[in-house]
């Protein structure tokens, strides 16, 4: 791959450091990289997973926050190549390798009820029957899917209608499908690396951005913004993956344990992320009382939903030949889960 030299260099550094620091009889070390900083949802996930694994196995798990071993794309490539054992792979960049995974970037697919989304994210045929096969083609095994919180818009003015998006520069991840979505709303979609986003907001290179509340808080984006628009168009979805060749070489009992603890960790993170996002929101409102939270009405949300529907056709073209089966199956599963949890 284009980053082979970079990956090889990182691998050599890891081997050298582990060799220097390890005692004569060292525990086996598993390497787990996340896309976020210490204290984030992904970090909480990784720490819980590490604790549970180390209670059962005589191994050590080293967790690397974002930036230590590269950006999200670097981490995915390193996991594909076996340099890393575990990582998080968000659809925004993973779609470069696996276009069909961009289904997680489509707005107004998921339920407003998190218990409905949990049912599907844990048991979906679309995810674990169809999507999983695409991961395996790239030397990745999909261990689970989970939300990190609802995506919340920020701005220095209210965003309630498409007219509010005229000449508005919305920062997005490097995902062409997200660009299509926000163009459909009337915005100018601008791709800015996550570490550069604060300065971009400060310098007025972007007018707003999209993150769960916890990310707005930990990265201090709220310092440069006046409004949160909690439209609930989509959750921020992360996928938890393991290097497939490495996983296949493990004893069967270890494979089973990893899969069981992955499910337990996903149960943990569903509840944890809701609590964390609410706590972070309250913290921001306390620090900056002038912040305003806008909850769009059902009618306002419906306008954006209708504008987003043609983007599904864009997804289907990007995700040929499997995208239609994945999208249709996922939508059907969500509809069935909605009925199951109807009150």
pLDDT in tens, 117-127: 999 999 999 99
Count of domains in the chain? 2
In percent, how much of the chain has pLDDT > 90?
A: 86
Question: DSSP string covering 12-78, please?
Answer: HHHHHHHHHHS-SSPPEEEEEE-SS-TTSHHHHHHHHHHHHHHHHSSEEEEEE-TTSS--HHHHHHH
pTM, entire model: 0.88
Q: What is the model's pLDDT at position 125?
A: 97
Q: What is the model's pLDDT at position 10?
A: 54
Does the pLDDT at position 39 exceed 90?
Answer: yes
Does the pLDDT at position 50 exceed 60?
Answer: yes
Does the pLDDT at position 24 exceed 50?
Answer: no
- Residue 238: name the closest of 117, 109, 91 by CA: 91
CA distances from 338 to 26, 31, 341 (A): 49, 38, 5
Kind and range of the H or E element at 130? none
**Same domain flag for 94 and 125:** yes
Average pLDDT over residues 228-235: 97
**Same domain flag for 78 and 13:** yes
Q: Are strands 169-172 and 188-191 parallel, antiparallel or unpaired?
A: parallel
Q: List strand residue ranges (DSSP E) for the chain, in order.
A: 28-33, 59-64, 86-89, 140-150, 152-155, 169-172, 188-191, 210-211, 227-229, 235-243, 292-294
- Residue 44: name the closest of 265, 283, 274 by CA: 265
- Residue 86: name the closest of 239, 272, 271 by CA: 239
Looking at 225, 256, 278, which one is the last position of a domain? 278
Average pLDDT over residues 277-296: 98
Average pLDDT over residues 223-242: 97
**Same domain flag for 211 and 241:** no
For residue 283, is it within any domain? Answer: no
For residue 207, is it within any domain? Answer: yes
CATH number at residue 93: 3.40.190.170
**Same domain flag for 37 and 137:** yes
Q: What is the model's pLDDT at position 286?
A: 98
For residue 266, is it within any domain? Answer: yes
For residue 297, is it within any domain? Answer: yes
Average pLDDT over residues 322-340: 97
**Same domain flag for 105 and 172:** no
For residue 29, is it within any domain? Answer: yes
Rounded Cα gap, residues 52 and 162, in angstroms = 47
**Same domain flag for 261 and 325:** no
Range of the domain at 176: 152-234+289-340
**Same domain flag for 126 and 245:** yes
For residue 61, is it within any domain? Answer: yes
Looking at 226, 254, 278, which one is the last position of a domain? 278
pLDDT band at 175 (very low <50, low <70, confident <90, very high): confident
Does the pLDDT at position 14 exceed 70?
Answer: no
Place of tokens 């938890």: 240
**Same domain flag for 29 and 90:** yes
In tens, the pLDDT along 253-276 reads 999 999 999 999 999 999 999 999
**Same domain flag for 127 and 192:** no
**Same domain flag for 169 and 244:** no
Q: What is the model's pLDDT at position 11?
A: 52
Q: What is the model's pLDDT at position 4?
A: 47
**Same domain flag for 262 and 332:** no
Average pLDDT over residues 84-94: 92
**Same domain flag for 188 and 142:** no
Q: What is the model's pLDDT at position 73?
A: 87
Query: Could you tell me if 63 and 43 are in contact, meaning their C-beta atoms sit under 8 angstroms apart?
Result: yes
Does the pLDDT at position 72 exceed 90?
Answer: no
For residue 284, is it within any domain? Answer: no
Looking at 278, 298, 331, which one is the last position of a domain? 278
Q: What is the model's pLDDT at position 9?
A: 52
pLDDT band at 25 (very low <50, low <70, confident <90, very high): low
Does the pLDDT at position 21 exceed 80?
Answer: no
């Amino acid at each position: 791959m284009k980053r082979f030299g970079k990956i090889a260099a990182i691998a050599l550094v890891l081997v050298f450091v582990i060799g220097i620091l390890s005692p004569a009889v060292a525990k086996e070390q598993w390497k787990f990289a996340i896309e976020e900083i210490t204290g984030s949802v992904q970090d909480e996930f990784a720490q819980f997973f590490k604790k549970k694994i180390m209670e059962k196995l005589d191994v050590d798990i080293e967790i690397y926050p974002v930036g230590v071993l590269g950006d999200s794309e670097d981490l995915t490539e390193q996991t594909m190549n076996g340099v890393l054992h575990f990582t998080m792979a968000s659809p925004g960049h993973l779609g470069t390798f696996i276009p069909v995974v961009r289904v997680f970037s489509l707005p107004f697919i998921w339920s407003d009820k998190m218990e409905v989304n949990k049912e599907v994210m844990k048991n979906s045929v679309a995810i674990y029957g169809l999507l999983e096969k695409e991961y395996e083609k790239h030397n990745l095994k999909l261990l689970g899917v989970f939300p990190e919180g609802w995506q919340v818009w920020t701005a220095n003015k209210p965003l309630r209608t498409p007219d509010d998006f005229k000449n508005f520069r919305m920062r997005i991840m490097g995902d062409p499908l997200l660009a299509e979505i926000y163009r459909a709303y009337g915005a100018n979609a601008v791709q800015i690396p996550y570490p550069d986003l604060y300065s971009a907001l400060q310098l007025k290179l972007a007018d707003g951005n999209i993150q769960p509340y916890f990310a707005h808080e930990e990265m201090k984006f709220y310092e440069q913004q006046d409004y949160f628009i909690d439209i609930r168009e989509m959750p921020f979805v992360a996928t938890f993956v393991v290097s497939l060749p490495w996983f296949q070489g493990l004893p069967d009992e270890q494979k089973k344990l990893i899969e069981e603890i992955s499910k337990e960790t996903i149960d943990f993170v569903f509840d944890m992320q809701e609590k964390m996002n609410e706590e972070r929101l309250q913290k921001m409102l306390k620090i900056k009382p002038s912040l305003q939270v806008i909850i769009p009405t059902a009618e306002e949300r419906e306008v954006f939903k209708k504008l987003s529907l043609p983007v599904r056709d864009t997804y289907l073209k990007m995700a040929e030949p499997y995208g239609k089966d994945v999208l249709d199956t996922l939508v059907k599963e969500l509809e069935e889960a909605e009925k199951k949890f109807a009150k």
